[in-house]
Copies of this chain bind each other. A is one copy, B any other.
Amino acid sequence: MIKIKRAVLIALGDELLSGIRKEGNCSWLANKLSRAGWKVECIEIIPDGNNSLTLFLEKWIGKTGLLVLSGGLGPTHDDCTRRAIAQFLGTELVPADEAYDKILSRYPEEMQKALEKSRDTQGVIPARTRPVHNPAGSALGVAFEEGGTSVRAFPGVPSEFRAMAEQELEQEMRPNSGIASSILIAGWAESLLKDRLAPVIERPELHITILPSPGLIEFYIRGAPEDVARAERDVKDLVPGDYLPSAAKSLADAVISGAKQKNISLACAESCTGGMVGGALTSIPGSSEVFFGSAVCYSNTAKKSILSVNEITLDQEGAVSSLCAAEMALGALKIYGSDLAVSVTGIAGPDGGTDEKPVGTVWFGLADKGGVETVKRVFPGDRDIVRERAKNFALDRLWRKITEKDR
């Protein structure tokens, strides 16, 4: 039996309710807490302004174990969190000079003068509460315990919220590794994967979540440690060769770490993805050890002059063809001098499709000193989705080639 600790997260902000900014702080914290064995009962996004927050404090304090508030602690008139807490506790706002001085001491003199003006807003806290140091900004946080509920209020600026939560909730967020496992599975459609993994999905002792993204599915398992461990082994047995190494957070990550391990250097030739494959590979720190570069050749002229694609290929087969993909991959292999090169050329839309080559048609090439192979996919979806899928499929090709047993 897992002991469940319960939490409620509340984000304040008119900008979140008008949809011009997506809520991210509570979502981030929910993830950390869930992996540490907490159950987040509810995330509420409410307007700036005193009244509604007091109602929410009354609703949840005493009913949940941890209540975390994001936002409403800055110096402007909208920033009402500390007043709402004081009203709820029936106390006054009092200066937290020592804590505010500690924050000010981090700033240059000129800035200190400006922040001094905000001492009576950012530097006060409700009596009977404790100030929380802000290592990334100038507004103090607030902490108190009431009716069995731990309450923490941090500013809504994401870098400040995270820094303060990491410091103040370090213990609460410590991952409980046994009770949750995430397996990334490449190259499966969601419905087919669900059929394949049904023997695991149907186990009543597990809580399974399946999170598909283009080309990669996250299979998230929660339960008792021994059940999770068994499920993890069984899933891997059901899709051998398709799950990413557990340390890899993405396909790009798996490609780079695999290439480093086997000392294989990489290059790309991109048309419809326009640099997204290179962008993904270079998002991984240390990718420069194995990634040499990507020739983004959007125009046919560039395909010819830079990648040595034949004029006849372009005239007779077109840029979106097996032959062009093959010549692009070979071209990238040659100009970068890498061990392995992948190419992508397709029709992302919305225009440019034909009956024979509809929007979504993408050819991929994979070249090494042993030769070149090509494969075609027709992806559904709009321009953004086709490009995202094409990027991930190119990474998938690289990853499988790199991890081939006979290399």
Interface residues of A (CB under 8 A from B): 14-24, 26-34, 39-47, 52, 182, 207, 209, 211, 218, 220, 222, 267-268, 270, 272-279, 281-283, 285-288, 291-299, 301-302, 305-306, 335-337, 348-351, 383-384, 387
**Contact yes or no, A275 B285, CB < 8 A:** no
A349 to B275 Cα, complex, angstroms: 20
> Would A293 and B306 be within 8 Å (CB), given that A20-B220, A209-B20 are in contact?
yes
Q: Please, which residues of chain B bring their CB within 8 A of the CB of A218?
A: 20
Are A42 and B43 touching (Cβ within 8 A)?
no
Tell me the minimal C-beta distance from A17 to chain B in angstroms.
4
Chain B residues with CB under 8 A of A207: 14
- B20→A285 contact, CB < 8 A: no
Copies of this polypeptide in the complex:
2
Cα–Cα, bound, A40→B15 (Å): 10
Q: Contact check, B295 vs A299: say whether CB atoms are below 8 A apart.
A: no
User: Is A285 a contact partner of B383 (Cβ separation < 8 A)?
Assistant: yes
A31 touches B20 (CB 8 A): yes
Q: Would A19 and B46 count as touching, CB distance under 8 A?
A: no
Please classify the interface of chain A as helix (H, G, I), strand (E, B), loop, or mixed, using the class held by over half of its residues.
Answer: mixed
26 contacts between A and B (CB under 8 A): A17-B43, A18-B31, A19-B34, A20-B34, A22-B24, A23-B27, A41-B47, A42-B44, A42-B46, A44-B45, A267-B302, A272-B282, A274-B281, A274-B291, A274-B294, A275-B277, A275-B278, A282-B348, A282-B387, A285-B350, A285-B351, A285-B383, A287-B298, A288-B298, A288-B299, A292-B301
Establish whether residues B274 and A274, one from each chain, have CB atoms under 8 Å apart when the complex forms.
Answer: no
Residue of B nearest to A15 (CB): B209
A274/B285 contact (C-beta < 8 A), A15-B211, A44-B42, A302-B336 known: no
Q: Could you say which residues of chain B place their CB within 8 Å of the CB of A18?
A: 30-31, 34, 40, 209, 220, 222
Which residues of B have CB within 8 Å of A46? 42
Q: A14: which B residues are within 8 A, CB to CB? A: 207, 209
Query: Contact: B297 with A293, CB < 8 Å?
Result: yes
In the bound complex, do residue A273 and residue B283 qualify as a contact, i.e. CB atoms below 8 Å apart?
Answer: no
CA distance A277 to B275 in the complex (A): 7
Residues on B with beta carbons closer than 8 Å to the beta carbon of A287: 274, 298
Set B27, B31, B47, B283: member contacting A384, Cβ < 8 A? B283
Tell me whether B285 and A279 are in contact (CB under 8 A): no
* Given A282-B298, A306-B335, also A31-B19 (CB < 8 A): yes
Residue from B273, B286, B292, B348 in contact with A302 in the complex, judged by beta carbons closer than 8 Å: B292
Given the complex of chains A and B, what is the CA–CA distance between A278 and B276 in angstroms? Answer: 8
Nearest-neighbour CB distance to chain B for A2, whole angstroms, equals: 14
In this complex, what residue of B is CB-closest to A34? B18
What residues of B have a CB within 8 angstroms of the CB of A15 in the complex? 209, 211, 220
In the assembled complex, the Cα of A301 lies from the Cα of B265 at a distance in Å of 13
Question: Smallest CB-CB separation from A11: which chain B residue?
Answer: B43
A298: which B residues are within 8 A, CB to CB? 278, 282, 287-288, 291-293
Give, as a whole number of angstroms, the nearest-CB distance from A305 to chain B: 7
CB contacts (< 8 Å) of A220 on chain B: these are 15, 18, 20
User: Which residues of chain B have C-beta atoms less than 8 A from A384's C-beta?
Assistant: 283
Q: How long is the Cα–Cα vector from A22 to B28 in the complex, in angstroms?
A: 9
Q: How far does the alpha carbon of A18 sit from the alpha carbon of B179 in the complex, in Å?
A: 13
Q: Contacts A18-B220, A19-B29 given; 10 further ones with Cβ under 8 A?
A: A14-B207, A16-B27, A18-B30, A18-B209, A19-B31, A19-B32, A22-B24, A44-B44, A293-B302, A293-B306
